[in-house]
A = this chain, B = another copy of it.
Amino acid sequence: MTSRSDNNLIVEPVARLIEEFGKLPGIGPKTASRLTFFLLRAEEEQSRALAEAIQAMREQVTLCTRCFNITVGEICPVCASPTRDQTKICVVEEPLDVLAIERTGAYRGLYHVLHGHIAPLEGTYREDLKIDELLARVRGEPVDEVILATNPNTEGEATAFLLLKDLAPLGVRVTRLSRGLPTGGDLEWADPDTLGSALEGRREL
């Protein structure tokens, strides 16, 4: 919707908002322009609420000092809960992964959010992740199992491998989420890697 030649046609505050929306992932210039003109026509209240929500989030949301999941305050609700199993730590890459696992209802232990994965080509190294913090927890808390739930892709596997090396000397049980066919999937359409993992991980019935 906007191009260099529009610079003198679109007034500065509008052009600026189009530009800021356009910096968000998956928002191209057309969508940025559409969102801007939508807010221009919407009730003033809606713009205000959006702007305030953005600022409030950045001001209020912090990382849990124990598991590094996002929270408000010092400790996240999972870490603060007396009913969670204190002997298990599930290690994930991102806060959204915690949500995904919580949604299964199948896990009652604690979490540890790494905030990324090892990816030297993207400039993410070991020291950028909350790995030392994890090791300190394993040493200091009554943990008997660390579940590595990094993503089942190259970076996630590399990160899990590195963690395994670090955790092995601590004498804790280290497990990894199983790989196999997705529920509801079709064997015919499974990619060879997934089908290979499903064969390798087959279980006695």
Residues of A at the B interface (CB closer than 8 Å) are 1-3, 5-6, 8-14, 16-17, 19-21, 23-27, 31, 33-41, 44, 46-58, 60-61, 70-72, 77, 94-96, 98-99, 102-103, 115
Contacts and interface: CB of A to CB of B under 8 A. Distances in A.
B11 A39 contact: no
A24 B24 CA distance: 14
Contacts of A5: 103
Contacts of A96: 1, 33, 37
Contacts of A51: 51-52, 54-55
17 contacts: A5-B103, A10-B99, A12-B72, A13-B53, A13-B57, A17-B53, A24-B39, A25-B34, A25-B38, A39-B54, A39-B57, A39-B58, A40-B70, A41-B115, A51-B51, A51-B54, A51-B55
Contact of A57 (B14, B53, B72): B14
B13 A71 contact: no
A70 B11 contact: yes
A107 to B, nearest CB: 12
B40 A47 contact: no
B25 A35 contact: yes
Contacts of A34: 25-26
Pick the 4 closest A-B CB pairs, nearest first: A51-B54, A17-B53, A20-B53, A13-B57
A47 B53 contact: no
A20 B52 CA distance: 10
Contacts of A6: 99, 102-103
Nearest to A100: B1
Contacts of A40: 57-58, 61, 70, 95
A34 B95 CA distance: 12
Contacts of A35: 24-25, 27
